[in-house]
Amino acid sequence: MAISIKTPEDIEGMRIAGRLGAEVLDYITPFVKPGVTTGELDRLCHEYMVNVQGTVPAPLNYAPPGYPPFPKAVCTSVNDVICHGIPGDKVLKNGDVVNIDVTVITKDGYHGDNSRMFFIGEPSKLARRLTDITYECMWLGISKVKPGAHLGDIGHVIQQHAENAGYSVVREFCGHGIGKVFHEEPQVLHYGRPGTGEELKAGMIFTIEPMINAGRREIREMPDGWTIKTKDRSLSAQWEHMILVTETGYEVLTTSAGTPPPPAIVQPKDTVAA
Ligand code: MF3
Ligand code: CO
Ligand code: CO
């Protein structure tokens, strides 16, 4: 099966989905404070999606082969949780770091998938550096996106930046094609070699969502069937954007008023067609 090329109608639908997905993260930001539970953050996001946006949370009851239905609207991954943390009665405290991963489904059936890191109060030096390096990894990957580039170009630059900083790249989870389907081809690995993997073509849409560990890359699966932690209990960080391959490069679809700007390590995109 080839990677789908989105129609102009699909692309317009995915721009809307991406903006709505990002706006959920904007909305939740002021609530991410010491004392709040991850379950309360989930409830607030869920209500905002359904009652304000008219979107539906894609994770709720999502059950890929081998997984039990995901029981909540968003993923909240705290400290050594790599991804797919299930919101619950966990109270966030000063010094914690949390990734909130939001995927909305719009009325037209398009998915808007993105995540950001949040600090609870004052982060440790390690937490700040890991979070910053992971953000740079995501953006270095994004900056490689253009027709004729290869998926391996993205993976390589992410792996190189993470490992140069002394960190490791999680192998078991990756970015993914997305549209009316939540997870579709291609798999976007966050490691690899330049020039390898599928060639990018205008109209493809996929996520880039590196999971970077402060320690070793190995994972541990929790008995809930979803939560993934670092095996060595080291801190883990993740950021996620949804990217369209354009004729000249890329467009970040998960953009809103509160989207953090690209890091200094990535040059501002030349938006003028060559
Ligand atoms: N949003 C996640 C991703 O980036 C997937 C979460 S699936 C869930 O692909 F069921 F755990 F929510
Ligand atoms: Co994703
Ligand atoms: Co996601």
- The range of the structural domain enclosing residue 146 comes to 8-255
Cα–Cα distance, 126 to 213 (Å, whole number): 11
C-alpha 193: how far from chain center? 22
Long-range contacts for 46-51 (Cβ within 8 Å, ≥24 apart)? Answer: 46/72, 46/73, 46/74, 48/24, 49/24, 49/73, 49/104
- pTM above threshold 0.95: yes
pLDDT digits (tens, 9 = 90+) for 42-52: 999 999 999 99
**Ordered per-residue pLDDT tens for the chain, 274 residues:** 799 999 999 999 999 999 999 999 999 999 999 999 999 999 999 999 999 999 999 999 999 999 999 999 999 999 999 999 999 999 999 999 999 999 999 999 999 999 999 999 999 999 999 999 999 999 999 999 999 999 999 999 999 999 999 999 999 999 999 999 999 999 999 999 999 999 999 999 999 999 999 999 999 999 999 999 999 999 999 999 999 999 999 999 999 999 999 999 998 775 554 4
Both tokens assigned to 118: 């949040």
pLDDT digits (tens, 9 = 90+) for 66-84: 999 999 999 999 999 999 9
Which CATH number is 154's domain given? 3.90.230.10
**Quick check: is 53 in a domain?**
yes
**Quick check: is 273 in a domain?**
no
**Quick check: is 260 in a domain?**
no
From 138, 129, 139, 140, select the one nearest 211 (Cα to Cα): 138
**Quick check: is 271 in a domain?**
no
Residue 158: partners with Cβ closer than 8 Å, 6 or more residues away: 137, 138, 140, 141, 169, 190, 191, 208, 210
Write down the pLDDT at residue 173: 98
If one residue of 24, 45, 75, 207 were mutated to test the ligand 1 pocket, choosing by the most ligand atoms within 8 A of its CB, it would be 75
User: Ligand 1 site: residues with CB under 6 angstroms?
Assistant: 59, 62, 70, 75, 84, 101, 103, 113, 207, 209, 226, 240
Evaluate whether 38 touches 47 at the Cβ level (below 8 Å).
no
pLDDT digits (tens, 9 = 90+) for 230-255: 999 999 999 999 999 999 999 999 99
**Quick check: is 28 in a domain?**
yes
**Quick check: is 2 in a domain?**
no
**Quick check: is 24 in a domain?**
yes
Cα–Cα distance, 110 to 123 (Å, whole number): 35
Looking at the structure of the chain, the number of domains it has is: 1
**Quick check: is 262 in a domain?**
no
Quick one: which ligand is closest to 242's CA? 2
